[in-house]
Chain A
Amino acid sequence: MQTIDLATAGGATLALLPEVVLTGAALVVLLVLSWRHTTAEDSRLAGYLSLGGVGLSAVALAYLWTADLQPLGLAHMIAVDTFRYAAVAIILIATAATILLSLQYVERERLLAPEYYCLILLAATGMMYLAGATDLIVSFLGLEVMSVAVYVLVGFNRGSVFSAEAALKYFLIGAFASAFLLYGIALIYGATGTTNIMEIGARLGQGNIPVLGALGLGLLLIGFGFKVAAVPFHMWAPDVYDGAPTPITGFMATGVKAAGVIALTRILFDGFSHSIDLWQPVVAALAIASMVLGNLVALSQRSLKRMLAYSSIAHAGYLLTAIWTGSSLGAGATLLYILAYVLTTLATFGILAALGRGGERDVTLDTIAGLGARRPWLAFALSACMLSLLGFPGTLGFIGKWTILMAIVNQAHAALGIILVLTSLVSAGYYLPVIMSMYMKPASATSPEGKMSGAGIAVIVVTVGLLLVFGFWPGPVLGIATNSARVLSGAVPSVNALVR
């Protein structure tokens, strides 16, 4: 164990090593692009460079994780703990997969502006700041860095009306969300005199939370509600997911959501653990609304991309139930579920990107009919993803739902768990038709799907493989998630914790 002083430049740089490396990589990519930005090869070069950057950042993360650093005193701006490391790892996985999936996609869709990769790296950096922040201002900065990059990425397909519409919609709604968040931060600062999450927790103490602080917390929840697409702040999600380039949709559904949920977990657990009675009902209401509405509306979608958009709302609901518990078990469940959801969603969007046939907006239940006979392995992978999203045993999605249910039950509570399983049952109504369409319907008279790139295949093989392996042998990820979550000091010490 080694202590670092975050107040010194060296200490802060060390603590921020993954972020610094990734930002550096983004700048290098930008620099290279100044000379080479015309051909498809240039675009590919940018992609490989970005991938290298993500790799270096992962090395830095691995170093931090194994070095077991301890901050000297309070971590003022950025957390130096395993919860952040786990979150950063998930974000890096999502980023690497997005870049790999994009390599072929941008060429096929003729989106040959290599800034694309630079923006992905910047968005990832923002996510990492957001997920690791211990200060609300850093949270906000991270959120903005992430959001601005993603606004551009959503609208990257300049030729498409839908892409432009999605970008504008996301930008306007995002600006609203940021305003809510910022105002909330201001009110909380007004109530407590600090923006540091731990200090907020300490100052709010055992007593009643001042009205100003409660109001600020409410605005904060609204802001994050928009970002993670929880009902009733979800209206933008279907159109934006639908209009954005498919790899970016996957990036938003995984990275943005993961960063938002993790930041919200840290803020609620460390900053507002004493006001748990105040936010628990709100989070429960958001969770229930998201689970019910997301699942019900997803039932009526024919387009897979839109269906996944609504289902991502439902998954935000499941994640919120894990946060609702307010226990370290719940935080561990959040991490594990995010990992399951990120891996599954990346694989799913990778498959969708492979199935889309240049220019056409989406893949529907009809176009995948008979895929089981045409592309057996692809169909198998998509089936595994659907079952994982459904939470079926044998997949990591099941382990994730199981942990969330354990965390809920551990609070001596069952109602939310019952709602969770019943809404999961509803989700069978739209995940199963995908499988059904692939295997049990005759092939439609459409042109065959294009060939997949090696990178795309690699992403799908690795993610689906991990889903299944961890589904049967969850020990390692479970251990990491549980241990990482334990550092959230403010988390309500569960007297009856199932796992100590």
Chain B
Amino acid sequence: MTDFLTSVGYGQWILHALIALPVLGAIVVLFGTTANAKRIGLVVAVLEFILSIGLWWAVDTRPGTMQLVAAIPWIPTWGISYRVGIDGISLFMVLLTTMLLPLCVLSSFTYIAKREKAYYALLLLLTTGVLGVFISLDLFVFYVFWELMLIPMYFLIGIWGGTNRLYAAIKFFVFTMAGSLLMLVAILVMVYRIRVVTGVLSFSYEHLLLNAVKVRSWSPWLFGGFGLAFAIKVPIFPFHTWLPDAHVEAPTAGSVMLASVLLKMGIYGFLRFAIPFFPSVALGPDITALVIGLALIGIIYGALVAMVQPDIKKLVAYSSVSHLGFAMLGVWAGSVQSVQGALMVMIGHGFSTGALFFLIGMLYERRHTREISAYGGIARVVPLFSVILMIASLSSIGLPGLNGFIGEFLILLGSFRNHPVAVGLATTGVIFAAAYLLWALQRLIFNRLDKPENSSLRDLTLREVLVMAPLVIGIVWLGLFPGPVLRKMEPATKRYLELADPGIHPIKLFSFADKSK
């Protein structure tokens, strides 16, 4: 495989192709006919996925550094280049995104009935934005992609969303933009400060990473700028309020993209930028205590709120808050296992929550309600649906043998040494997850089949099975054989941990003035 890839020069063009293909596809969709929109969209999405598979072999994850790096000068006066690269961390984010894209397109075939051309074009553009965020190695490029991805999502929620879609769309936009604008100032201040010290004006990730330590006195403020943007995206309690609205109102594919990929951009931002740039602040005692505290609140609060939701989609949305709390805990615990666990949670949550949102969308298409109380006993009517829902839920709960377990277990294992109390509290989150999901399952698919309109529900169609099959396979495969993935991640994780060394004197907030250069 590797030989074949080398022979076609795969490494040279793949990253550019992955970014460009969806944009070109979107243009083709827009200029095609409405009837063909979904087919063209699917072809482009599948092509994108097939192209991306080669990355598994083409990216040499062993050194743990950036691979397939390419740079094209963009605005030379400002030291801005279109610089991209990929390592063992971003590899899986990219693969997750490209894998979900065809499923999202396929799942929308009947769900989306109006303005189909625009819908599929926006879905493709969203992919470009997300992939750009994961592979850009220039802060300007990163910022542009980070913001560009907002527009398609804004339209997806605002045009094809539920009843309260306008509110949800603008809330999503404004929350994200609030964070990213402050990040923009932080980027500029950082670049300028480093320019003063080193004499080189560059937005290159490597350059900033290498010299971030030289602007240590500014670190608390800069970390604040970066951290807030990422914290809103994750989202960490108390910045999570946009998430239930956006998730619930978005159309199915939008919810899936949002939950499975967009939320990961927050954690990715911490791992790639905020922590390696400013480890002395980020991993200092104050911020560590704060983040772990908020992560725990997120885990428990998210689970408790999920438990009382009458709307199944909202329940899953709040469960995301809980799951990403685990990921944050893993990142801040800072051991190889816990960080790998966080990465596994990011992938696993992408699979299981994506699957849940797809299933809820399919249910909604049949009955046009998401109220849990409107269902009951449907396992007898739609057995295939119920089995898949069961698998996805059990993965989300963290049943051993399914992929949700791997991530959470690694996090708890890796965090225990330094944060035993936090791990103890976080474990309750797993129990709550079992409670809210199993309870919801009981009310949805078990109990008595007492609503007559439920007795004529159609089971999954072939198309819907095709959407779910890759996710179910992924859930089981990753649960049983996480080894290959973990091995590919490990060098990059170790390299991250080297960068994320808080040093001998981690900066305590509010007392940094005496350390100024």
Chain A positions within 8 Å of B, measured between CB atoms, are 373, 387, 392-394, 402, 405-406, 409-410, 412, 414, 417-418, 421-422, 424-425, 428-429, 432-433, 436, 439-441, 474-475, 478-479, 482, 496, 498-499
Contacts and interface: CB of A to CB of B under 8 A. Distances in A.
Contacts of B154: 432
B435 interface: no
B120 to A, nearest CB: 15
30 contacts: A393-B144, A394-B148, A402-B188, A405-B184, A405-B188, A406-B78, A406-B188, A409-B185, A409-B188, A414-B189, A414-B221, A417-B189, A421-B182, A422-B182, A425-B174, A425-B181, A428-B173, A433-B170, A436-B170, A439-B155, A439-B158, A440-B159, A440-B166, A441-B166, A478-B75, A478-B77, A479-B77, A496-B195, A498-B201, A499-B77
Contacts of B76: 475
A428 B177 contact: yes
A393 B143 contact: yes
Given A394-B148, A478-B77, A429 B174 contact: yes
Contacts of A475: 74-77
A431 B154 CA distance: 13
B311 interface: no
A498 B195 contact: yes
Contact of B185 (A387, A393, A417): A417
Contact of A409 (B78, B166, B192, B221): B192
Contacts of A402: 184, 188
B159 A425 contact: no
Nearest to B140: A402
B210 interface: no
Contacts of B174: 425, 428-429
Nearest to A410: B192
B192 A498 contact: yes
Contacts of A417: 185, 188-189
Interface of B: 74-78, 115, 143-144, 147-148, 151, 154-155, 158-159, 165-166, 169-170, 173-174, 177-178, 181-182, 184-185, 188-189, 192, 195-196, 201, 221
A394 B184 contact: no
Contacts of B165: 440
A479 B78 CA distance: 11
B185 A436 contact: no
A421 B201 contact: no
Contacts of B75: 474-475, 478
A393 B165 CA distance: 24
Q: Chain A contact residues: over half helix, strand or loop, or mixed?
A: helix
Contacts of B221: 414
Contact of B196 (A422, A478, A496): A496
Given A394-B144, A439-B159, A496-B195, 16 more contacts: A392-B147, A392-B151, A393-B147, A402-B184, A405-B185, A405-B188, A406-B192, A409-B188, A414-B189, A422-B182, A424-B181, A425-B181, A429-B170, A440-B158, A475-B76, A482-B77
A496 B174 CA distance: 34
A407 to B, nearest CB: 10
Contacts of B143: 393
B188 A425 contact: no
Contacts of A433: 170
B182 A418 contact: yes
Leading 3 A-B pairs by shortest Cβ distance: A421-B181, A393-B144, A440-B158
Nearest to B30: A376
A443 to B, nearest CB: 13
Most chain-A CB neighbours within 10 Å: which of B169, B173, B188, B201? Answer: B188
B221 to A, nearest CB: 8
Nearest to A482: B77
A393 B181 contact: no
A73 to B, nearest CB: 32
B178 A425 contact: yes
A393 B173 CA distance: 14
A490 to B, nearest CB: 23
Nearest to A373: B115
Contacts of B78: 406, 478, 498-499
Contacts of B196: 496
B184 A421 contact: yes
Contact of A436 (B166, B178, B188, B201): B166
B169 A414 contact: no
Contacts of B166: 436, 440-441
A382 to B, nearest CB: 14
A424 B180 CA distance: 12
A447 to B, nearest CB: 23
A22 B178 CA distance: 46
B144 A409 contact: no
Given A436-B166, A440-B159, A478-B77, A421 B173 contact: no
Contact of A421 (B155, B169, B185): B185
A194 to B, nearest CB: 37
Contacts of A409: 185, 188-189, 192
Given A393-B148, A425-B181, A440 B169 contact: yes
Nearest to A408: B188
A496 B197 CA distance: 10
Contacts of B169: 436, 440
B158 A436 contact: yes
A425 B177 contact: yes
A439 B174 CA distance: 18
Contacts of B151: 387, 392
A383 to B, nearest CB: 9
Nearest to A441: B166
A376 to B, nearest CB: 9
A481 to B, nearest CB: 10
B27 to A, nearest CB: 13
Nearest to B145: A393
Most chain-B CB neighbours within 10 Å: which of A402, A406, A410? Answer: A402
B156 to A, nearest CB: 11
Contacts of A479: 77
Contacts of A418: 182, 185
A422 B185 CA distance: 10
Nearest to A414: B189
Contacts of B184: 402, 405, 421
A363 to B, nearest CB: 20
Contacts of B170: 429, 432-433, 436
Contacts of A424: 181
Contacts of B177: 425, 428
A317 B59 CA distance: 48
Nearest to B146: A393
A482 B75 CA distance: 13
A498 B203 CA distance: 12
Nearest to A496: B196
A392 B148 CA distance: 8
A190 B250 CA distance: 67
B117 to A, nearest CB: 10
Contacts of A392: 147, 151
Nearest to A439: B159
A417 B184 CA distance: 10
B382 to A, nearest CB: 33
A420 B221 CA distance: 17
Contacts of A478: 75, 77-78
A406 B184 CA distance: 10
Most chain-B CB neighbours within 10 Å: which of A412, A424, A425? Answer: A425
Contacts of A432: 154, 170, 173
A414 B185 contact: yes
A44 B147 CA distance: 44
A333 to B, nearest CB: 12
Contacts of A410: 192
B392 to A, nearest CB: 31
A421 B154 CA distance: 20
A373 to B, nearest CB: 8
Contacts of A387: 151
